[in-house]
């Protein structure tokens, strides 16, 4: 559900950049007074895990579409909403700048769509309301599934509204929304099941993590080394090898656009803000689309050629998964460490 710049006008992009920057500033102030040191490594490894997990598109049967994990619900449940929002912002920033996944102009939209709804709406008003003060496995699974679905549905609707208000792609509201919401309902169900599995695993191993995310104080500073190591290994394996098994079908947004316009990707204006930011991204993205850059002289794949093998074993994909996960871990972890140190100075 990463929006490209072709869907967004400079005005909408600028407004969403400002909105997201305000949310990042709010979250930074909030966790600079509440973040425990033991949660800083969790921000890093969870960011790396979500980066790697988003590389794996899963097929939605009978649709010709696919989806991938958004990750906002997992992060909110395990980190709390404010640290989660900063972590998903780290993931999406690394993806946009260095892997050309999502436009730079649309980065504010993408962070808001994938971060705000799960962290500040679905988590407090659905997940926490269902799990209560004494969570059980059943409540955790139910809350995680419903929160994931709600967060993705709201995010998908935001994509539609931002696109329609921008008015540069000529995608009609009625048709676009009637395609986006059902396909992301299916994607949200899968994400909910994955979220429930991850959260249940962590809850069994270290229930204090979920308690601290809810703002419940713990008497002694716990060590989460086992969980951190497990998540780091999972991120490494997911980005380095499981990413080969990603579905080749277009994701829910691309599929919806293709149904409306006949094209999975729309062309952005070549001049103005769009052209300037496209030029910047072309220079910063050293592994565009999670692969090594093709030589300029290399010919395009002839039409009608047999589809690529699956799984798509590719050194570029593995490099992107491992390196991108490491970069995200460093950015999210460094941000958490900086805010933690600022807390001690205050």
pLDDT 10s digits, 103-162? 999 999 999 999 999 999 999 999 999 999 889 999 999 999 999 999 999 999 999 999
**Please, are residues 22 and 33 in contact by the beta-carbon 8 Å criterion?**
no
- pTM flag (> 0.85): yes
Angle at alpha carbon of residue 298, lines to 297 and 299, rounded to 5°: 110
pLDDT of residue 221: 62
Angle between helices 81-99 and 72-79 (to 10 degrees): 140
| Position 303 pLDDT exceeds 60 | no
Domains contained in the chain, CATH given = 5-262+277-291+309-345 (1.10.1760.20)
DSSP line for 77-122: HHH-HHHHHHHHHHHHHHHHHHH--S-STTHHHHHIIIIIHIIIII
Strand partners, 60: 65
| Position 268 pLDDT exceeds 60 | yes
pLDDT digits (tens, 9 = 90+) for 309-325: 788 899 999 999 999 99
Average pLDDT taken over every residue of the chain: 92
User: For residue 199, which of 85, 78, 295, 105 has the smallest C-alpha distance?
Assistant: 78
| Position 88 pLDDT exceeds 80 | yes
CA distance linking residue 83 with residue 5, whole number of Å: 27
| Position 283 pLDDT exceeds 70 | yes
pLDDT digits (tens, 9 = 90+) for 187-207: 999 999 999 999 999 999 999
CA distance linking residue 175 with residue 170, whole number of Å: 11
pLDDT of residue 299: 47
**Please, are residues 305 and 216 in contact by the beta-carbon 8 Å criterion?**
no
List phi, psi (to 5°) of 95.
-60, -45
pLDDT digits (tens, 9 = 90+) for 224-264: 889 999 999 999 999 999 999 999 999 999 999 999 999 99
pLDDT of residue 107: 98
Burial per residue of 224-255, b for 16 or more beta-carbon CB atoms within 10 angstroms, e otherwise: beebbebbbebbbebbbebbbebbebbbbbbb
Tokens 């299916």, residue located = 186
Q: Which tokens is 39 given?
A: 């949660």
């Amino acid at each position: 559900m990463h929006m490209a710049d072709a869907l967004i006008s400079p005005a909408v992009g600028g407004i969403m950049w400002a909105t997201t920057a305000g949310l990042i500033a709010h979250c930074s102030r909030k966790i600079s007074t509440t973040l425990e040191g033991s949660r800083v490594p969790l921000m890093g490894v969870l960011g790396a895990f979500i980066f790697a997990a988003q590389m794996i598109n899963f097929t939605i049967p009978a649709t010709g579409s696919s989806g991938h994990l958004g990750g906002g619900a997992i992060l909110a449940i395990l980190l709390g909403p404010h640290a989660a929002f900063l972590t998903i912002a780290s993931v999406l920033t690394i993806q946009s700048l260095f892997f050309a996944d999502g436009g730079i102009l649309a980065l504010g939209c993408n962070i808001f769509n994938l971060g705000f709804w799960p962290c500040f709406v679905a988590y407090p008003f659905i997940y926490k309301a269902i799990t209560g003060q004494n969570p059980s496995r059943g409540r955790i699974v139910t809350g995680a599934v419903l929160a994931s679905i709600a967060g993705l549905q709201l995010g998908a609707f935001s994509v539609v509204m931002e696109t329609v208000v921008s008015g540069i792609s000529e995608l009609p509201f009625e048709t676009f929304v009637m395609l986006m919401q059902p396909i992301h309902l299916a994607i949200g169900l899968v994400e909910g099941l994955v979220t429930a599995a991850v959260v249940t695993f962590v809850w069994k191993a270290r229930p204090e993590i979920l308690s601290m995310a809810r703002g419940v104080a713990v008497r002694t500073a716990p060590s989460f080394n086992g969980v951190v190591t497990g998540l780091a290994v999972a991120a490494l394996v997911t980005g380095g090898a499981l990413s080969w098994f990603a579905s080749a079908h277009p994701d829910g947004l691309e599929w919806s656009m293709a149904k409306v316009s006949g094209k999975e990707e729309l062309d952005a204006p070549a001049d103005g803000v769009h052209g300037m930011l496209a030029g910047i991204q072309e220079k910063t993205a050293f592994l565009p689309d999670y692969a090594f850059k093709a030589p300029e002289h290399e010919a395009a794949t002839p039409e009608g050629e047999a589809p690529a093998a699956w799984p798509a074993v590719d050194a570029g994909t593995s490099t992107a998964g491992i390196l991108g996960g490491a970069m995200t871990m460093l950015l999210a972890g460094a941000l958490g460490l900086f805010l933690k140190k600022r807390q001690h100075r205050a």
